[in-house]
Amino acid sequence: MFKVFQAEWRKLRRPVLVLGSLASSLFFTVLVTVFMFKNIDNPQGNADRGASIGRPILESASGSITAVSQVGLFLGITALCIFAAQSAQEYTYGTLRNLLVRQPARLKLLAGKFAAMKSFALLIAVVNISVSIAIAFTLSDGAKVSTAMWFTNEGLAAIARSSLNIFISIVYFGVLGITLGLIFRSPISSISIGVIWSLILEGLLFFVNENIPKWTPVSQFNTIAAGGSADISYTHALTLGTSYVFLGTIISAILFAKRDVAN
């Protein structure tokens, strides 16, 4: 499986893919972090949907990582697009047949590819978290936010806990991307469907019934990254989100093992 991992990373480490993925995810991370600190006294709010995240929250032990935990959706969509494309393009380009010649055990091949993609998700998480904390620390003085609690033992524990939640969320979005990629076997179709569902359709379902998002996958993944929300508890999101991921993993394994390698 390690050789499969190495082979997958040969594709993932392409400068266009690495730099493009990091640039797209960092755009939202930097934007949200700067907006949160620069508009801390804005009566119209400094967070999603006009919410206000004031000094008491930003000065708490978890204040350093508060901003990046709010962009879990955009980090997740980045992972969804990458995972979906990497899964579907093997069928589009016909390279899966060649891979199976070298590694005929299909589930072992899928596991190696998934392990490589998870490590790529870890890279996205680490870079975005580090950049957000650095920007937050730089802007804290101007926003009159005390950073005394940020790097205490409690603060470091909060960073570790939130970082793990963000990583889990990114991986869960990635599994959704893999599942869509293996279902549609087309990068364009799987990415477009995943993005439309994540950014548009789940939002529309809220207006149909405000309780529906409590049971949809993307809402759970986003809530995991944030460590819970006013509407969805962290435990509920983690339990239901893990159930969706388990189902997606089963579907992916069956499709990858049983389907013909041609698109």
40 within some domain: yes
CB-based contact 109:4 (threshold 8 Å):
yes
Buried b or exposed e, range 107-131, using 16+ CB within 10 angstroms: eebbbbbbbbbbebbeebbebbbeb
pLDDT at 95: 85
pLDDT at 260: 79
Give the residue from 233, 210, 211, 205 showing the smallest Cα distance to 220. Answer: 233
What is the rounded CA–CA span in Å between residue 62 and residue 126?
Answer: 16
263 within some domain: no
How distant, in Å, are the alpha carbons of 140, 226, 234, 250 from that of 66?
A: 13, 8, 15, 34
Number of domains forming the structure of the chain? 1
pLDDT tens digits for range 171-204: 999 999 999 999 999 999 999 999 999 999 988 8
Question: In the structure encoding, which two tokens stand for residue 260, read together?
Answer: 């013909």
Q: What average pLDDT does range 5-10 have in this prediction? A: 90
Question: In the structure encoding, which two tokens stand for residue 68, read together?
Answer: 């990046």
Task: Name the one residue in this structure whose structure tokens are 């650095």.
Answer: 134
pLDDT at 263: 58
pLDDT at 45: 84
pLDDT at 3: 85
What is the rounded CA–CA span in Å between residue 128 and residue 120?
Answer: 12
51: confidence class by pLDDT, cuts 50, 70, 90: confident
What is the rounded CA–CA span in Å between residue 34 and residue 49?
Answer: 16
Q: What average pLDDT does range 114-120 have in this prediction? A: 95
The 3-state DSSP class for residue 211 equals coil
pLDDT at 209: 86
164: confidence class by pLDDT, cuts 50, 70, 90: very high
141 within some domain: yes
Residue 14 has pLDDT above 80, yes or no: yes
pLDDT at 262: 64
102: confidence class by pLDDT, cuts 50, 70, 90: confident
Residue 48 has pLDDT above 80, yes or no: no
Domain interval for residue 111: 2-258
Q: What average pLDDT does range 26-53 have in this prediction? A: 89
pTM (two decimals): 0.94
